[in-house]
Amino acid sequence: MITKRIIPCLDVKNGRVVKGVNFAGLRDVNSPIELAEYYSNNGADELVFYDITASAEGRGLFTDILREVASKIFIPLTVGGAINAVEDFDRVLKCGADKVSVNSGAIRNPALIGEAAKRYGDQCVVLSVDVKRVDGVFRVFAKGGRENTGMDAIEWIKSGVDSGAGEIVVNSMDTDGVKRGFDLELLEKVCNAVSVPVIASGGAGTMGDFLELFKKLPKVDAGLAASVFHFGEIKINDLKEFLAAEGINVRRI
Partner 1 sequence: MPIIIDYGVGNLFSLTSSFKFIGQDVTVTSDKKKIAAADKLILPGVGAFSDAAKALHETGMYDVIIEEARKGKPLLGICLGMQMLLTKSYEYGEHAGLNLIPGNVKPIAPVIEKGLKVPHIGWNALKFPENKPKSKLYKYVEPGEHVYFVHSYYGADCTECVSAYAEYGAELTASVELGNVYGTQFHPEKSGKTGLNILKAFCEL
Residue ranges in contact with partner 1 by CB under 8 A? 1-3, 5, 40, 45, 67, 70-72, 74-76, 93-96, 98, 121-123, 166-167, 195-197, 221, 251, 253
| Residue (1 or 56) nearer to partner 1, CB | 1
Calculate the alpha carbon distances from 73 to 38, 65, 114, 209, 237 in Å: 10, 12, 29, 28, 17
Q: Are 117 and 89 within 8 A, CB to CB? A: no
CB of 87 to partner 1, least distance (A): 15
Rounded CA-CA distance 164/157 in Å is: 11
Q: Identify which of residues 108 and 118 has a Cβ nearer to partner 1 in the complex.
A: 118
What's the closest the beta carbon of residue 184 comes to partner 1, in angstroms? Answer: 20
Q: Find out whether 47 and 77 touch, Cβ atoms under 8 Å.
A: yes
Q: Is 20 exposed, middle or buried (0-12, 13-18, 19+ CB in 10 A)?
A: exposed
Q: Are 168 and 160 in contact (CB under 8 A)?
A: yes
At its nearest, how many Å lie between partner 1 and the CB of residue 195? 6
Query: Rounded to whole angstroms, how far apart are CA atoms 222 and 134?
Result: 26
DSSP conformation class of 3: P
> Catalytic residues, which ones?
11, 130
Backbone torsions φ then ψ of 242, nearest 5 degrees: -60, -50
CB-wise, 40 or 103, nearer to partner 1? 40
Considering beta carbons, is residue 78 or 172 the nearer one to partner 1?
78
DSSP label at residue 84: -
CB 34 within 8 A of CB 75: no
> Which among 114, 181, 183 has a CA at the least distance from the CA of 153?
183
> Alpha-carbon Rg of the chain, whole angstroms?
17
Smallest distance from partner 1 to CB 228, Å: 21
Q: Which is nearer to partner 1, 31 or 42 (CB)?
A: 42
Instruction: Quote the DSSP letter at residue 227.
Output: H
Closer CB to partner 1, 102 or 142, in the complex: 102
CB of 179 to partner 1, least distance (A): 26
State the minimum distance, in angstroms, from the CB of residue 3 to partner 1. Answer: 5
